[in-house]
């Protein structure tokens, strides 16, 4: 209930309502872009300041390793489940969507933990950055393998070998790797974290009016825009099967459970475990659609985009964050 009464969450709900009422309220794209960059920069700074205070510890290394492991396991499991009921390219795209993460969900979760006075490591911002790319890379590898298989020579009548019908040209993995690792938002996040780490307490005091005082208001403004965007995509859910909607609702819970099990096994703290669960339960609606639009053009964007933004994102924001935090406290606390 506390999460639902948070001003930022209420602005998100208001955005959905305004969108459903067909209001002409909208946030201009350049302002929306600025808000997202501001939030990532402020988050990176806060993470760097916290990391400068705590130092590089064993839990930091374990948390980051656990994050990367989840970013590999989740899309692989998702693909093998989804390909039974979806075309292979669509299954790969949805697996990438749910194997990657939502920065906005993570940022909202850190605000919730701060309000609950639950301590977490600044390095979890780096964990978020590390979890964004592996699923995209795995999906591109799967798509290239599918295209290779489709282009294999087959025997025609009379024993003559002919080429099978292939799809678009394979996406260069090197190019995808370069784009994933040099993406501007990730670089800004990591760069700001390095700045925070190098400047420490002095930098924190100097940047407090920017990275702390303004943060809550900027987040509320951005979530208003996300609410409007979510409302615009609700109509597309009618085109999806009930099974896919059920997957978009239930798979994040299973992914969070996997993260909780790893956190318990590796002895992570409540705050770090909660954020790992929330990251595992989130789904990308920015990075993955932008990458897969060109890397896997055979996939239908309305499937993976409407699932992540229309179902998973609002469920996580409104209910998932407090529930996963409670479970982390009950199991890891």
pTM: 0.83
Taken in order of first residue, the domains within the chain and their CATH numbers are 29-148+163-332 (1.20.1530.20)
E runs forming strands in 103-218: 153-155, 161-163
Q: Is the model's pLDDT at 323 over the cut of 90?
A: yes
CA atoms within 13 A on the CB side of 87: 12
Q: Is the model's pLDDT at 157 over the cut of 70?
A: no
Share the mean pLDDT of the chain: 85
Q: Is the model's pLDDT at 174 over the cut of 70?
A: no
The more confident residue out of 54 and 37 is 37
**What's the confidence (pLDDT) of residue 167?**
47
Which residue(s) pair with 162 in the sheet?
A: 154
**What's the confidence (pLDDT) of residue 287?**
77
Q: Is the model's pLDDT at 159 over the cut of 70?
A: no
CA atoms within 13 A on the CB side of 146: 23
Residues 103, 57, 114, 325, CA torsion sign: positive
**What's the confidence (pLDDT) of residue 14?**
93
**What's the confidence (pLDDT) of residue 156?**
46
How many CB atoms are located within 10 Å of the residue 160 CB? 9
C-alpha to C-alpha distance for 260 and 118, rounded to whole angstroms: 16
pLDDT per position as a tens digit, 135-153:
888 888 888 888 887 765 5
**What's the confidence (pLDDT) of residue 178?**
66
pLDDT-based confidence at residue 166 (cuts at 50, 70, 90):
very low
pLDDT per position as a tens digit, 68-84:
999 999 999 999 999 98
3-state class (DSSP) for residue 161: strand
Least confident interval from 21-30, 103-112, 184-193, 297-306: 184-193
pLDDT per position as a tens digit, 178-210:
665 666 776 888 888 899 989 989 999 999 998
How many residues appear in the chain? 333
Taking residues 27-39, what's their average pLDDT? 88
Residues 6+ apart with CB under 8 A from 193: 44, 45, 47, 48, 51, 122, 125, 126
């Amino acid at each position: 209930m506390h999460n639902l009464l948070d001003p930022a969450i209420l602005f998100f709900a208001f955005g959905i309502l305004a969108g459903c009422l067909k209001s002409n309220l909208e946030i201009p794209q350049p302002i929306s872009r600025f808000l997202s960059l501001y939030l990532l920069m402020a988050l990176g700074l806060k993470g760097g300041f916290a990391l400068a205070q705590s130092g590089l510890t064993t839990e930091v290394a374990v948390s980051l390793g656990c994050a990367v492991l989840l970013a590999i396991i989740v899309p692989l499991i998702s693909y093998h489940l989804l390909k039974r009921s979806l075309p292979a390219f669509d299954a790969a795209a949805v697996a990438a969507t749910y194997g990657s993460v939502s920065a906005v969900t993570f940022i909202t979760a850190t605000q919730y933990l701060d309000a609950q006075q639950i301590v977490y490591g600044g390095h979890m911002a780096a964990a978020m950055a590390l979890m964004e790319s592996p699923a995209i890379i795995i999906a591109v590898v799967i798509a290239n393998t599918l295209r290779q298989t489709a282009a294999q020579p087959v025997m025609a009548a009379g024993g003559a070998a002919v080429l099978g019908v292939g799809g678009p040209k394979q996406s260069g993995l090197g190019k995808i790797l370069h784009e994933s690792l040099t993406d501007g938002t990730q670089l800004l996040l990591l760069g700001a974290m390095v700045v925070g780490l190098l400047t420490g307490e002095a930098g924190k005091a100097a940047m407090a009016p920017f990275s702390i005082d303004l943060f809550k208001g900027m987040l509320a403004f951005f979530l208003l825009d996300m609410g409007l965007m979510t409302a615009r995509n609700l109509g597309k859910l009618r085109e999806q099967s009930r099974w896919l909607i059920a997957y978009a609702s239930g798979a994040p819970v299973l992914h969070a459970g996997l993260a909780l099990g790893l956190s318990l096994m590796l002895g992570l703290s409540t705050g770090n475990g909660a954020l790992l669960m929330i990251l595992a339960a989130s789904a990308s609606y920015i990075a993955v659609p932008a990458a897969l639009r060109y890397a896997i053009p055979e996939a239908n964007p309305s499937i993976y985009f409407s699932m992540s933004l229309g179902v998973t994102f609002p469920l996580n924001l409104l209910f998932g964050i407090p529930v996963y935090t409670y479970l982390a406290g009950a199991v890891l606390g």
